[in-house]
Amino acid sequence: MFNASDIMTTAVITVKKETTLKELARLLYENHINGVPVVDDEGKLIGIICESDLIRKDRKLHIPTVVALFDWVFYLESPKKMEKEIQRINATKVEDLYVREVITVNEKTPVEDIATIMTQKKAYTIPVMDGDRIVGIIGKGDLLRTLVH
C-alpha cells in the first residue's frame, strides 16, 4: 500500500502573506499547481491558498438580503459577513484571502485516506508534515498519477 511519502512532491513552493495575488497567480500558472502553503518568516505553515480562492475573489459582491418592516430595515445577514465580502473583492495580497484552517497529513498517511480527505473535505492541496515542518505536498495530480500507475 502507498503512503503520502510515496506520492508527495518534495519541492514545495510556498508563499508569504505579503505575496501579491498577481504573483500568486503567476506561480500557480507557471508551475501547473492548484495551490500553495502560506508560511511565516520562519517557514512555519500558517495557511493555504488555492486557485479557487482567487476565482472566488473575482465573483460579484453579494448584496445581503434585507426585509423592510414599517420604517425599519432588517439585514438577514450579519454586518461582519458583508465586511468580509467587501474585503474579498478588494483583496490584493495572499493575507486577504488565504485559508487559516489547513488540512494536513503526515508521511505515513495511506493514499486511500488522502483520497477520502480530498473527496469529503474538498481539500485538493494537502501539505505533508513532519511535526511542524512541511516535507512535501500532495495535489490532485499526485493522487491521479498514483491511480494510473
pLDDT of residue 145: 86
Res. 81 pLDDT band, cuts 50 70 90 = low
pTM (2 d.p.): 0.77
- Mean predicted lDDT score pLDDT of the chain: 84
Q: What is the pLDDT of residues 107-118, one digit of tens each?
A: 999 999 999 999
> What is the rounded average pLDDT of the residues 48-57?
83
The larger pLDDT score, comparing residue 136 to residue 144, is at: 136
Position 148 scores a pLDDT of: 79
Average pLDDT over residues 85-113: 87
- Which pLDDT score, from 0 to 100, does residue 144 have? 86
What residue spans define the domains of the chain? Answer: 4-148
Query: Could you give the residue ranges of the DSSP H alpha helices within 2-139?
Result: 4-7, 21-30, 51-57, 79-89, 111-121
Q: 4-148: which CATH architecture?
A: Roll (3.10)
In which residue are the cell numbers 511535526 written? Answer: 131
Of 99, 113, 107, nearest in space to 129 by CA:
107
Where are the strands (E) in the chain, listed by range?
35-39, 45-50, 66-69, 72-75, 105-106, 125-130, 133-139
CA angle 12, 14, 17 (to 5 degrees): 165
Q: What is the pLDDT of residues 66-77, one digit of tens each?
A: 455 565 655 555
What pLDDT, on a 0 to 100 scale, did the predictor assign at position 62? 45
